[in-house]
Amino acid sequence: MTAFPAVQSETGHLRSVIVCAPGPAQARLTPSTCDAMLFDDVMWLEQAQTDHRRFTTLLEAEGIEVIDLRDLLIDVLAIAPARKALVAARVTADTVGIGLCDDLRAWCDDLGPARLADLLMGGLTVDEAPDVSGLTAQVLGPEGLLVAPLPNLMFPRDSSLCVNGGVIRGTMRYAARGGETAILKAIHDHHPRFREAAHPWPVPGLAPLEGGDVMVLSRSTLLIGMGERTAPQAVGQMARALFDAGQVQRVIACTMPKGRASMHLDTVFTLCDRDRATAYPEVAEAITCHSIRPASAPGAIDVTAETTPFLNVVAEALGQPGLRVIATGGDRYLRAREQWDDGNNVLAIGPGKVLAYDRNTRTNTLLRKAGIEVITFPGGELGRGRGGPRCLSCPLVRDAAGD
């Protein structure tokens, strides 16, 4: 198995993928905290875990290597410099208070890697910490959170992405996901799995860019959505970094309507094969595109407005005369429901073969009629954080579309 990132398409055979099973972080969700944590509702955790195991079992049955992010983190926390840096990033005076910071860091340093991984991902309350006092602890009370949980790590697609042989950390739009960046930095910088990876954009800027908006169309071309979660300022910076590193030659920046239902490009459009895609027409037809290419001046980019519709631009970039688009199923009411339930957020595991949530029956039926092999699993609980099979996965190794 290839030990380093090598993602060269959206629909080539998937070889290795990172996931993150639900656990302690999702157990912290309550009706009063869901909104701030970017979830629509609390989860039935045990069912979500069962459904996620079904997801990973299906991947493994296809010969795909499945790596849980928690296991990567445990490996990294056994490395002293990585452990120290990550604890310092997650346990700060801003989070635990000036009186607790040093003592709590020292306590964390004595924990085993597995226990510390659960703390860094799942959070820490006042009464779970050792003999804490001070203003912060007294104001928060025994069940107050000193270290915030990171339930959205369940969707590893957004906090990091692999482009060809390089790996890039996302810059998350909302504070609820900010802590994910430190964890991914530790993994990318210290885990042996990423030792040979290129880091074309090692220090992302402050402008947000999330992996759910990024699609690897080919070895030379990226497609990036710009909606609720990704800003054009970040797209320009990443494009320039990738050009300088020789990773790609073109970035297609897609301006999208902003909204929670369409927070990322992959909530309204995903590729199922080299010439077939599923899309939510109400949003996809409103997308406009600009192509970004290297400019001759150092540090500059060349930007050209595309005059053809979004789907035509994608087809041209893929070298296809056109895309066969399978729209979200049903009338406008059912289409809106199935898009909300991640009907268009499928994960291609090979050409013409996708994983999808079972609840989106009309869209799945249309995909099958179009010749796509659709493998389903339950998503009623997993989807409460607004993510489907593509969101639940971060490809580490994927073949080019023609391989």
Q: What is the mean pLDDT of the chain?
A: 94
CATH architecture of 6-22+32-68+151-398: 5-stranded Propeller (3.75)
> 71-147: same fold as 6-22+32-68+151-398?
no
Mean pLDDT of 196-220: 92
Candidates 225, 207, 228; CA nearest to 215 is 225
Q: Where are the chain's structural domains?
A: 6-22+32-68+151-398, 71-147
Q: Which residues are catalytic?
A: 391
Instruction: Report d(CA 389, CA 174) in Å as an integer.
Output: 22
Say whether pLDDT at 138 is over 80.
no
pLDDT range class, residue 1, cuts 50, 70, 90: very low
Instruction: Report d(CA 23, CA 32) in Å as an integer.
Output: 19
User: Which token pair is 62?
Assistant: 């296809």
CATH architecture of 71-147: Orthogonal Bundle (1.10)
User: Which token pair is 356?
Assistant: 């999808």
What string of H, E and C letters represents the secondary structure of 227-238?
A: CCCCCHHHHHHH
**What is the radius of gyration, based on Cα positions, of the chain?**
21
Give the position of tokens 């220090």.
203
Mean pLDDT of 187-203: 91
Mean pLDDT of 191-207: 89
In the chain, the amino acid numbered 9 is S
pLDDT digits (tens, 9 = 90+) for 58-109: 999 999 999 999 999 999 999 999 999 999 999 999 988 888 889 899 999 9
Say whether pLDDT at 124 is over 90.
yes
- In three-state secondary structure terms, 35 is coil
Rounded to 5°, angle at Cα 205 from 204 and 210: 65
For 281, the enclosing helix (H) or strand (E) is helix 281-284
- pTM comes to 0.95
